[in-house]
Amino acid sequence: MTSELADVALERMDGFVVATVAGEIDMSNAVRVRERIAGFVTPEDWAVVMDLSELTFIDSAGLYGVSVLAELLEERRQRLLLCVPPSGSIARTVEIVGLHSVSIHADRDLALAAVRADQPTSRPYPPED
C-alpha cells in the first residue's frame, strides 16, 4: 500500500509480521502508516519487525506513531522490534527521542534473528484485563 510519502510492504513469516517502510513518515501520514501495520497484525502473530532501513525521514509525529504501535502491540501481548541502521538521520532521531520500550537492531538479519530467538512457546489469548 502506498501512503503519501511512505510505502508500507507487509509480509507474514513464521508467526510474526515484517513491515518494511520506505520513504518518509511525518505528521501527514504517520497515523495511516501505523493503522496499516496494526490492521495487518492478527491475534496469531506474536511480534512485528518494523524495518526502517529504507526510510529517508521521520519526524516526531512518525516516532509517536511507532510508540503508539508499540503500546498497542504490548496490550495485545505482542512485541515490536525495529530495524534501524546505525548511521544516518533516522538512527540519530530515534536515539534523541529514545524509544525505550522497543527493541532496536542495526539490520534486518539481526532483527529477524532476535525475533526468532525470542519466540514464545505459548501465549495466553485473549489478553488478560
Confidence (pTM): 0.85
| Cα–Cα distance measured from residue 61 to residue 23, given in angstroms and rounded to the nearest whole number | 15
Contact 6, 39 (CB under 8 A): no
Q: What local confidence, expressed as pLDDT, does residue 119 receive?
A: 78
Q: What local confidence, expressed as pLDDT, does residue 2 receive?
A: 45
| Cα–Cα distance measured from residue 75 to residue 71, given in angstroms and rounded to the nearest whole number | 6
Q: What is the pLDDT along the chain (129 residues), one digit of tens a residue?
A: 444 689 999 999 989 999 999 999 999 999 999 999 999 999 999 999 999 999 999 998 999 999 999 999 999 999 999 999 998 889 888 888 887 778 899 999 999 999 999 877 655 555 555
Radius of gyration from C-alpha coordinates of the chain: 14
- Cα dihedral value 69, 60, 49, 120, nearest 10: -50
Q: What local confidence, expressed as pLDDT, does residue 67 receive?
A: 93
Q: What local confidence, expressed as pLDDT, does residue 95 receive?
A: 83
Q: What local confidence, expressed as pLDDT, does residue 123 receive?
A: 54
